[in-house]
Amino acid sequence: MLSQIVRPLVNTQVRLLANSQTTQTTLVETIARWLGYLGVDAEVTKLSSESDRIHVALRVGKPDSCDEQDWNSILGNLRSPDHDGNSSVNSSDEIHLSHQLQIARLLAYLIQISDPQQEISWTEIESQLIPLNLDDSMLSGIKSAIQVPQSQDLLKSIDPDVAAVTFPLAVKIAWLDQQINSHENYALSALLTAMK
């Protein structure tokens, strides 16, 4: 699985950064290189440490796999007056109501397939979901959906916008136990395919 390949590489890079005499330069080069592996033309414009975090600002060019029409649409959407630069994808206000149920069901499905043999404890799951900063309505939706066995059919005909919102959350949920099984891998692949 991809995560089993990437995690050791990240751990190696962290060690390199910790032992580097030129940490800032090394980190800037590393970020640009890793995004380059994904076909993204990225330049770090700001890098600073803030409390226990690192603040990184990027200037990103058109990814290799992105065609000109899609790229121009993305730029146009970002320039439109309706675009709010402070938006959060986890806010239910920004997710169409008809999509909220689908997202909650998809996330519940990911939780259910993480260990199909184990009984699900909502209290335990809820505590694991807290770092994802999901709002109350999304948590309620997941709680309701988790009480009913969700079907793999959910992965058919996923709206691209739903897939884009769900995918990063799905990755985090799938990785809660530090491994991704074949069912989770299939679900994540289906979300990626739906975004294309």
Mean pLDDT by 10 residues, the chain (196 residues): 62 77 82 78 87 88 84 85 51 61 92 85 88 86 91 87 86 85 90 82
- pLDDT at residue 111, as a whole number: 92
- pLDDT at residue 105, as a whole number: 92
Tokens linked to 185: 């891998």
- pLDDT at residue 3, as a whole number: 56
- pLDDT at residue 114, as a whole number: 87
- pLDDT at residue 109, as a whole number: 93
- pLDDT at residue 89, as a whole number: 44
DSSP character for 92?
A: G
Tokens linked to 172: 């985090």
Tens digit of each residue's pLDDT (9 = 90 or more) over 64-104: 778 888 888 888 888 876 655 544 444 444 456 678 888 99
From 143, 146, 94, select the one nearest 118 (Cα to Cα).
146
**Cα 126 to Cα 36: distance, rounded to the nearest angstrom:** 36
Tokens linked to 194: 């739906």
Angle between helices 2-18 and 23-37 (to 10 degrees): 160
Task: Give the pTM.
Answer: 0.57
**Cα 151 to Cα 8: distance, rounded to the nearest angstrom:** 33
From 128, 172, 122, 171, select the one nearest 143 (Cα to Cα).
122
Longest dimension (CA), the chain: 54
Tokens linked to 94: 């920004």
**Cα 76 to Cα 83: distance, rounded to the nearest angstrom:** 10
Instruction: Point out which residues pair with 56 in neighbouring strands.
Output: 47
